[in-house]
Amino acid sequence: MILPYESRMERQPTLFDLFDGIRPMARAVDEHPSTVSTWKRVGRIPAEKQPHVLAVGFKLGLPITAEHVVFPLGRPHAAYADLPSPDARVFCDRQNASQRPEAAEPKI
């Protein structure tokens, strides 16, 4: 019997799984469940909350790392690894007037 692709892949537990769900995590980090639910929905925990979440996880003895807090739903999919970095130069065929070489020359 061939298992579906999703069954063959071993899914890594998310940060929310490690806390046993949204409500238990909300209780542990002293946040409203809707706030924690939003973190899960958008896939990130605000930077100012990350140290607290990590400290609470350590205090509870959960096997979490800083990576779990930075990537609460797991690392981005490997298919996105070939995307250029955000600071990579982008070239396009069309240039607006301020981008044309003659615009860079001072007019006397």
Using alpha carbons, select from 70, 42, 68 the residue that is nearest to residue 57: 68
Domain count of the fold of the chain: 1
- pLDDT, tens only, 56-90: 999 999 999 998 999 898 877 655 556 556 565 65
Q: What is the pLDDT of residues 1-21, one digit of tens each?
A: 454 545 445 677 899 999 999
Highest mean pLDDT among 44-48, 78-82, 97-101: 44-48
Instruction: Tell which residue, 46, 40, 47, has the closest CA to residue 14.
Output: 40
In whole angstroms, give the CA distance from residue 33 to residue 74.
Answer: 20
42 in any annotated domain: yes
Range of the domain at 15: 11-75
| Angle at alpha carbon of residue 106, lines to 105 and 108, rounded to 5° | 135
